[in-house]
Amino acid sequence: MKITAIKGFSDILPGEVEIWQAVEAKARQVFNAYNFAEIRIPILEKTELFSRSIGETTDIVEKEMYTFEDSGGDSLTLRPEATAGIARALISNGLLRGARLKLWTAGPMFRHERPQAGRFRQFHQFSVEAVGFTGPDVDAELIALGARLWQRLGITRVRLVLNSLGTSAARAQYRSALQAYFQAHESALDADSRRRLQGNPLRILDSKNPALRVLIDAAPVLTDYLDDESRQHFDSLRAMLDGIGVAYTINPRLVRGLDYYSRTVFEWITDALGAQDAVCSGGRYDGLIGQLGGEATPAVGFALGIERVVELIRQAGTVAAARPPAVYVIASGAGAEARALALAEQLREALPGQGVHMNLGGGNFKAQFRRADRSGACLALILGDAELGRGVAALKPLRREAGQSECPLADLPSRVGKMLQEESWTST
Ligand code: ATP
Ligand code: MG
């Protein structure tokens, strides 16, 4: 029996991993440009962390978590998202105390959902969080950071949707109004929505059932229940986004699936990925840290789904393939092969930014030249026993018509460095 992978868990293979590396490198640059520091947190946390933060009646906690008991009897969960873990890390490391922190992390998340295009059980996110700022300036900056990331990645088919949820008091009022409304129409609801009616009526608004569309469209609107301060916060945020030229639309039905949000919520959505239209989602979570036992600290952040971004880039074709090596080392003959290994080491020592690809497993010159060509290398270094006897190796540019020249073995590192420069070959 052939061993298989777990359903919904994917391998990221060479050929595709280059897009991931480009996304990671550019994201890192952008995070630095906005002065966000990296934090790395565990993949496994106590189950309680997620049930207390994400909310007992959310899809994630109700049915999507990978939860198990370890041999010590503790209930542990593979993280379904990173915000709760970051909040926990700030509390457990005593980093709050009025601090203002801008942090990001990246890595795998785990949700037991039905696997399909754009939806996996292990997927990856960037999570970007600003803690200790009441906003709305920091809300605007986070959104600007997202916009800059799209620009750097060459992604154009995304747009920003924005809403405000108000304070939790305002939301509680709205919740009652919504509950009353749906209760009055209970017979028209589907089973899922009827179940949500008591626990979390806001989630009925998220329903994808087309039969409920008209009913949902006529439901009370959150915007009408906003408290004055939240309204001001939202108006200022909008003015700031206008000021920096970030376009958005307001969707009063955007409520987000997680319980911990307050005031600003936003989503970058795309029309290029079919049913999975959310690429990046976030919002303000002023109550979360206090709820987890930390000192009350306002915070705002977003999570970006890397698989969906990689897919957008693949569609746009804006990322180059893997970088070929600078030098391919060809050697034939027992003495030459042994010496070539040492020469390749010398080149790697002298030219740390350059790829040096050693021909492995022998082969005649013709076969090795063919491999060198296919590797995309800039130069071939050729060593046979005859050259070795004379204390030289041959060098040949591969990316244009050119003859080969000989070089004393001792001069190889500097000569190769010079030739790469002449060929305008940049380091990896
Ligand atoms: P969706 O509505 O697609 O289920 P969500 O609201 O559950 O998304 P969040 O929890 O806010 O998503 O996560 C942020 C981002 O992570 C999403 O915008 C999406 O890009 C990505 N994401 C979420 N779940 C998955 C998944 N199962 N597979 C791949 N990417 C995902
Ligand atoms: Mg989801």
pLDDT at position 428: 63
Distance from the CA of 278 to the center of ligand 1, in angstroms? 7
Give the number of whichever ligand sits closest to the CA of residue 256: 1
Which atom of ligand 1 is nearest to 120's Cα? 28
CB 196 within 8 A of CB 203: yes
Distance from the CA of 119 to the center of ligand 2, in angstroms? 9
Which atom of ligand 1 is nearest to 267's Cα? 18
Residue nearest to atom 13 of ligand 1 (CA): 303
Mutate to test the pocket of ligand 1, among 10, 150, 276 (most ligand atoms within 8 A of CB): 276
Distance from the CA of 305 to the center of ligand 1, in angstroms? 6
pLDDT at position 206: 80
Tell me which residues have their CB closer than 6 angstroms to ligand 1: 81, 111, 113, 119-120, 123, 125, 257, 276, 278-281, 303, 305, 307-308
Distance from the CA of 23 to the center of ligand 2, in angstroms? 22
CA nearest neighbour of 128 among 197, 221, 30: 30
pLDDT at position 257: 64
Residue 381 CB neighbour total at 10 angstroms: 27
DSSP state of 325: P
Residue nearest to atom 11 of ligand 1 (CA): 281
Distance from the CA of 117 to the center of ligand 2, in angstroms? 13
**pLDDT tens digits, residue range 40-59?**
999 999 999 999 998 877 88
DSSP track, 247-290: --EE-TT---S-TT-EEEEEEEEESSSTT--EEEEEEE-TTHHH
CA nearest neighbour of 168 among 202, 208, 127: 202
DSSP state of 62: I
Distance from the CA of 11 to the center of ligand 1, in angstroms? 19
Distance from the CA of 65 to the center of ligand 2, in angstroms? 11
pLDDT at position 56: 79
| Spans of the chain below 50 pLDDT | none
Residue 361 CB neighbour total at 10 angstroms: 7
Distance from the CA of 278 to the center of ligand 2, in angstroms? 9
Which atom of ligand 1 is nearest to 280's Cα? 18
CA nearest neighbour of 327 among 366, 383, 367: 383
Could you tell me whether strands 379-384 and 327-332 are parallel, antiparallel, or unpaired per DSSP bridges? parallel
Q: How far apart are CA 79 and CA 45, in angstroms?
A: 7
CA nearest neighbour of 164 among 270, 305, 300, 58: 300
pLDDT at position 332: 93
CA nearest neighbour of 329 among 385, 369, 389, 388: 369
Distance from the CA of 65 to the center of ligand 1, in angstroms? 14
3-state secondary structure of 380: strand
Give the number of whichever ligand sits closest to the CA of residue 124: 1
Mutate to test the pocket of ligand 1, among 10, 123, 207, 268 (most ligand atoms within 8 A of CB): 123
Residue nearest to atom 22 of ligand 1 (CA): 305
CB 260 within 8 A of CB 288: yes
Provide φ and ψ at 180, rounded to 5°: -60, -45
**pLDDT tens digits, residue range 399-422?**
999 999 999 999 999 999 999 999
Provide φ and ψ at 194, rounded to 5°: -65, -35
pLDDT at position 266: 97
